[in-house]
DNA sequence: TATGAATGAGTCTTCATTCAT
DNA sequence: CATGAATGAAGACTCATTCAT
C-alpha cells in the first residue's frame, strides 16, 4: 500500500527494506522500546528521510502485521477450501503456519508481542483477521469431528491447543535451526492428532496421504 | 530482596502491593510503555515515595520475574524429586505450571513479554532459571522414554512441545475463565502423552494413578 | 484552575509567572512561532519542569485567553446590570474595555491574534464568551436606541463600530503611552456617540453624568 | 520582483497564482503555522517546483504585503493630491481603504497578523510604507482642521481613530458580506466626522458633494 | 521546468530518576 | 516516610530548504 501519490520507482523497494529493518529491531527490543532514531541509524537515513518512507511508527507496525496475516490468511483460505479430508487440510494448514513462522521469525515476534500497541481501526482490523484465522482452524477441527476422524472434543479447546503448539514456536526457533516447517508440522500433528482422533482413525497413514496429495497437485 | 536496612514494619507489605500493581500495568501496556507516573497514580503515591519502595523500574521487573520463577522452580524441583512414575510427575508438573499461569496471568504476561528488558546480571540469572526449569522437563521426558512409557523421541523437541502447549496459554486465558488448571492439565497431557507414549502404555489410566497419588499424599 | 492534585504553595505563583512570560513571548513572536524551548529559557526552567507547570502549550493559550475574557466579562455583566442610562453604561463599558486592553497589552495581542490556534472545546468556549461580550454591547446599543438617545441604526453595525474602534487600539498602544483608558474612552465615546445620537441628545453632558455616577457609587 | 533572469512566459502567471494560494492559506492558519508542503499540495506542485517559483517562504510574505500596500499607497497618494475639500478626500480615502480590505480579505489578514515575521530590510520597507499611509491620513485630518471643517483635535489621535475603525473591519467582514465598501465608508465617515467636525460644518452634505465629484470625474 | 529524495535542526512532549525539605 | 519540584535526555514527528536528475 504505497501511501502518498507521486513516488519514484525506487520508493517502494526502499520502503520495504526499511520495514524489514524495523521488524528486526522491533523483534529484538520490542516495539515500544525501539526508537525511530535507532531505525534511522540502521537504515542509514536521517529522521526526515525516514519519515518520508514510513509515515509513522505505528504504520510500520501495521505493515509488519499485514505481512504476517496477509499471506497467512490467503493460504489458510485456500487450504480450507480444498476438497480434501479435514485432517489432511489441518496438516497442510499446520505446515503453512509453521512455514510462515520460520520464514519471518522477527515479524512473528512483533506480531505476537506488539499488536496491542495498535490503536483504533488498525487494531480492530488486526483482531478481525486473527479471529478469521482462528475460525478456519476451528471449522476444520469441527469438520474432522463430524467426519468421525476426531473424537467429540470441545472444538474451541482443540483449536487453542493447535494454536498454542504452533504459535509458541517463535519463542525458541531461530533462523537456520535444525528443524524445518515440514518436520515440525509432522511432529506437531502427530502429537495433536494422536490425542484428538478416534481409536479407529489411521493417524500413521496421514503422511502417506499427504504425499499422495502433493503428487496429485504438482501433476 | 528488601533494599536498604532499617525499614519499618509496613515497608515490605506496601512494597509487595506496589509490585502487584506494577505487574497489572506492565501486563496491560507492556513494560516499556508503562510510565512510572502511571504506577504512582495507581499506587496513590508521589514519585519520591514510590522510588523509596521500588528502587528502580527495572527492579520491579526483576521482582515480577522472581515471583513467577521462584515458586515454579521450587515446586518443579519437589515434583521432580518425587518417587513416582515420570509420566505422573510430568502430569503433576503440568498442573503446577498451569496453576501458576492461571493464578497470576498478569505476572506471566510480563514474564513472557518483557524479560528482554532485563540487563546484565538480572538477565543472566533469569535465563539460568528458565534453563533449569526446561532441564527438569527434559529430564522427566527422558526418564519416561527410558522407562519405556514413551517412545524414543527427540527429547528436546518433546520438551518444546510440552512448553509450547502450556506456556502459550496465557495468551488467551483470562481470570475466571471456564477452565481451571486441573482440567487444562488433563486435556493437555492427554494430547501430549497420546502422541508420546508407546502403544503399550496405558494413557487412560494416568488420571486414575494421579488420584491414587493424591489420596496417598494427603493421607 | 490548578490542574493536578497535590501541589505545593509556590506552585500556583510560579505557574502564573510562567503564563505571564508566555504571554509576553506569544505577543512578540506569535503563538505558533514561539517555541517551548524559548519559554523555558525565559522562565529559567528545563523543559521537564516547564511542563510540570504548564501542561501543554495550548493550555497556556487557554489561560491567557481566560485572563482576558474572565475579568472583562465579569465587569461587562456588572455594568450591563446597572440601573443607569444605557449611554452611560456604554461609556463605562468602553472605559473598562480600554482599561483591560491597556493593562495587559501582551495578553490582548495574543487574544486578538492567536485564538484560532485553539482547538475543540477550548475554541468553542472562547467563541461563546466572545459572543456574550458582543451581545452585551449590542443590547446596550439597542437600549440606547429605544430610549431615544440614539438614532435608529443597524444595531449590529453600531456594535461593530464600537468594537473596531476599541479593539484595534492594542495595535499601536504601548505600555506607559501618553493616553490612559479614561482619556481614550472619553474621546472614543465622544466620536461614536456624536455619530449615533439623535440631535436632541446631550452628548456633551455625558461626562458630567459620569462624574455624578462615580460620586454616587463611591459614596 | 521576478527572481532569476531567463523565465518562460507562464512563469509570472503561475507565480501569482501561487501567491494567491499562499495568501489564502496564511490567512486561514497563520503564516507560521502554514507548511510549505500544504502550499505545494494546494498548488499541485512538488516542493522542488514550488521553490522554483517562490524563492522562499518569507518571500511569499513580502509579496503579499506588497500586494496590499502597493495599490493602497498608489491610490492614497492620488487621492491626497486631488484638488478637493480635505473632508471629501478623507471620505474617498476611506472608501478606497475599505475597498481594498473587502476585496482581498485574506491578504489583509496576513498583512495585519504576520508582518512581524518579516526580517531586516523587508520589515523596514514595510514599516516605512505603513508610516507613509498613516502620514497621508494624518495630513488630511490636519488640513481639515486648518480648513475649519474639523475641530482642533489631537491629529494623531484622530488618525488612530480613523485607522482603528477601518482596519479592524477585516476581523469580522467576510466575502459576500451584506455591506460593501461604499456603504461602510459612508457609515464610518458619518460617525467619525460627526465627532470631528465643528458645529458649523455640514456633515450631511458630504455625500451630496461626493456624488457631485463623481459626476465630474467620470465626465 | 519539475521531480522525488534527502537533510538536520526544530517541533511539542514524556521519560525515569533525584533530592532538598 | 513522603512530597513536590527539578532535570535533561529521549520520545515521535515536522520543518523549510536543497539538489541531482
CATH number for the domain that contains residue A81: 1.10.357.10
Nearest one of D163, D157, D130 to D142, comparing CA atoms: D157
Question: CA-CA distances (angstroms) from residue B153 to A104, A166, C120, D190?
Answer: 27, 18, 65, 105
Number of CB atoms found within 10 A of residue A215's CB: 9
Of residues D9 and A51, more confidence is placed in A51
How does residue D143 score in pLDDT terms, banded at 50, 70 and 90? very high
The last residue of a domain, from among B55, B75, B99: B55
Return left, alpha or beta for C62; rule: phi > 0 is left, psi -120 to 50 is alpha, else beta.
Answer: alpha
Handedness of CA C199, C202, C204, C206 (dihedral sign): negative
For B116-163, how does the pLDDT look when each residue is reduced to its tens digit (9 = 90+)? 999 989 999 999 999 999 999 999 999 999 999 999 999 999 999 999
Looking at residue A4, its pLDDT comes to 54
Torsion of CA A115, A119, A125, A129, to 10 degrees: 20
Nucleotide F11 C1' to residue B113 CA (A): 22
Q: How far apart are CA B31 and CA A25, in angstroms?
A: 17
- Terminal C-alpha separation, chain D: 36
Number of CB atoms found within 10 A of residue A163's CB: 20
CB C115 within 8 A of CB C123: yes
The mean pLDDT of D54-80, rounded to a whole number, is 97
How are the residues of chain B apportioned to helix, strand and coil, as percentages rounded to the nearest 5? 75, 0, 25
Task: Write down the H helix ranges in A104-180.
Answer: 105-113, 120-146, 155-167
* Beta-bridge partner residues of C150: C197
Nucleotide E15 C1' to residue B36 CA (A): 9
Q: How far apart are CA C103 and CA C100, in angstroms?
A: 5
Nearest one of A125, A19, A129 to A64, comparing CA atoms: A19
Closest by Cβ to A164, choosing from B29, B113, B165: B165
Whether residue A3 is found in the same domain as residue A97: no
Residue D3 has pLDDT above 80, yes or no: no
Judged by 3 or more CB pairs under 8 A, whether C touches A is: no
* Beta-bridge partner residues of D77: none
Looking at residue C2, its pLDDT comes to 36
Nearest one of C45, C174, C156 to C101, comparing CA atoms: C174
Whether residue D37 is found in the same domain as residue D140: no
Looking at residue D216, its pLDDT comes to 94
pLDDT averaged over chain B? 94
Whether residue D43 is found in the same domain as residue D102: no
Whether residue A39 is found in the same domain as residue A68: no
Chains in touch with C (3+ beta-carbon pairs under 8 Å) read D
For C108-129, how does the pLDDT look when each residue is reduced to its tens digit (9 = 90+)? 999 999 999 999 999 999 999 9
Q: How far apart are CA A150 and CA A192, in angstroms?
A: 10
Distance of CA A178 to the CA centre of its chain: 20
State the DSSP code for B219: -
Looking at residue C178, its pLDDT comes to 95
| Number of domains within chain A | 2
The last residue of a domain, from among C15, C30, C55: C55
Number of CB atoms found within 10 A of residue A79's CB: 21
Q: How far apart are CA B114 and CA D115, in angstroms?
A: 54
Nucleotide E16 C1' to residue C19 CA (A): 27
Q: Which residue is listed with cell 491578504?
A: D107
Whether residue D129 is found in the same domain as residue D212: yes
Q: Which residues contact B29 (CB under 8 A, 6 or more apart)?
A: A116, B38
Return left, alpha or beta for C44; rule: phi > 0 is left, psi -120 to 50 is alpha, else beta.
Answer: left
How does residue D218 score in pLDDT terms, banded at 50, 70 and 90? confident
CB D70 within 8 A of CB D60: no
Whether residue C50 is found in the same domain as residue C66: no
Q: How far apart are CA A133 and CA A179, in angstroms?
A: 24
Q: For each of chain A's 219 residues, which pLDDT tens digit applies?
A: 334 557 889 999 999 999 999 999 999 999 999 999 999 999 999 999 999 999 999 999 999 999 999 999 999 999 999 999 999 999 999 999 999 999 999 999 999 999 999 999 999 999 999 999 999 999 999 999 999 999 999 999 999 999 999 999 999 999 889 999 999 999 999 999 999 999 878 888 999 999 999 999 987
Whether residue D50 is found in the same domain as residue D81: no
Whether residue D47 is found in the same domain as residue D109: no
Q: How far apart are CA B177 and CA B179, in angstroms?
A: 6
Nearest one of B145, B139, B67, B78 to B108, comparing CA atoms: B67
Looking at residue A3, its pLDDT comes to 43
Residue B2 has pLDDT above 70, yes or no: no
Q: How far apart are CA C23 and CA C10, in angstroms?
A: 20
C-alpha cell at D102: 473587502
Interface of C with D (CB under 8 A): 28-30, 32-33, 112-114, 116-117, 157, 160-161, 163-169, 171-172, 179, 187-188, 190-192, 194-196
Looking at residue A183, its pLDDT comes to 97
Whether residue C90 is found in the same domain as residue C195: yes
Whether residue C190 is found in the same domain as residue C175: yes
Looking at residue D8, its pLDDT comes to 83
Nucleotide E17 C1' to residue A43 CA (A): 32
Whether residue D126 is found in the same domain as residue D194: yes
Question: CA-CA distances (angstroms) from residue C196 to C80, C162, C164?
Answer: 19, 10, 15
Domain of D15 in residue numbering reads as: 1-55
Looking at residue D9, its pLDDT comes to 85
Whether residue C177 is found in the same domain as residue C76: yes
Q: How far apart are CA B186 and CA B99, in angstroms?
A: 12
Closest by Cβ to C168, choosing from D30, D157, D167: D167
Give the residues of chain C that fall short of pLDDT 50. 1-3
Looking at residue B3, its pLDDT comes to 46
Q: How far apart are CA B11 and CA C129, in angstroms?
A: 52
Would the pTM of this model clear 0.85, i.e. be above it?
A: yes
- How many interface pairs between A and B have CB atoms less than 8 angstroms apart? 76
The last residue of a domain, from among A40, A55, A70: A55
Looking at residue B65, its pLDDT comes to 96
The mean pLDDT of B8-33, rounded to a whole number, is 94
Nearest one of D32, D160, D3, D181 to D104, comparing CA atoms: D181
* Positions of chain E reached by protein Cβ under 7 A: 1-20
Looking at residue D5, its pLDDT comes to 57
CATH number of residue D34's parent domain: 1.10.10.60
Q: How far apart are CA A77 and CA A64, in angstroms?
A: 20
How does residue D46 score in pLDDT terms, banded at 50, 70 and 90? very high
pLDDT averaged over chain D? 94
State the DSSP code for B150: B
Number of CB atoms found within 10 A of residue D73's CB: 15
Question: CA-CA distances (angstroms) from residue D156 to D90, D137, D138, D142, D177?
Answer: 15, 9, 7, 9, 31
Query: Which residue of D32, D90, D167 is the best one to mutate when testing the C interface, meaning the one whose CB has the most C CBs within 10 A?
Result: D32
Amino acid at each position: 500500500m504505497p501511501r502518498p501519490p507521486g513516488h519514484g520507482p525506487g520508493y517502494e523497494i526502499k520502503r520495504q527494506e526499511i520495514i524489514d529493518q524495523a521488524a528486526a529491531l522491533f523483534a529484538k527490543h520490542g516495539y515500544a522500546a525501539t526508537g525511530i532514531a535507532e531505525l534511522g541509524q540502521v537504515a542509514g537515513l536521517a529522521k526526515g528521510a525516514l519519515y518520508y518512507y514510513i509515515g509513522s511508527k505505528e504504520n510500520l507496525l501495521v505493515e509488519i502485521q499485514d505481512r504476517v496475516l496477509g499471506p497467512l490468511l490467503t493460504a489458510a483460505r485456500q487450504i480450507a477450501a480444498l476438497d480434501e479430508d479435514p485432517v489432511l487440510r489441518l496438516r497442510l494448514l499446520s505446515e503453512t503456519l509453521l512455514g510462515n513462522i520460520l520464514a519471518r521469525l522477527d515479524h512473528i515476534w512483533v506480531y505476537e508481542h506488539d499488536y496491542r500497541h495498535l490503536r483504533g481501526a488498525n487494531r480492530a482490523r488486526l483482531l478481525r483477521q486473527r479471529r478469521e484465522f482462528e475460525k478456519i482452524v476451528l471449522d476444520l477441527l469441527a469438520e474432522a469431528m463430524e467426519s468421525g476422524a476426531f473424537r467429540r472434543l470441545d472444538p474451541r479447546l482443540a483449536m487453542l491447543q493447535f494454536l498454542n503448539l504452533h504459535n509458541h514456536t517463535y519463542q525458541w526457533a531461530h533462523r537456520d535451526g535444525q528443524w524445518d516447517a515440514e518436520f515440525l508440522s509432522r511432529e506437531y500433528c502427530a502429537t495433536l492428532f494422536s490425542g484428538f482422533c478416534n481409536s479407529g482413525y489411521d493417524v500413521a497413514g496421514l503422511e502417506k496421504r499427504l504425499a499422495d496429495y502433493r503428487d496429485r497437485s504438482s501433476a
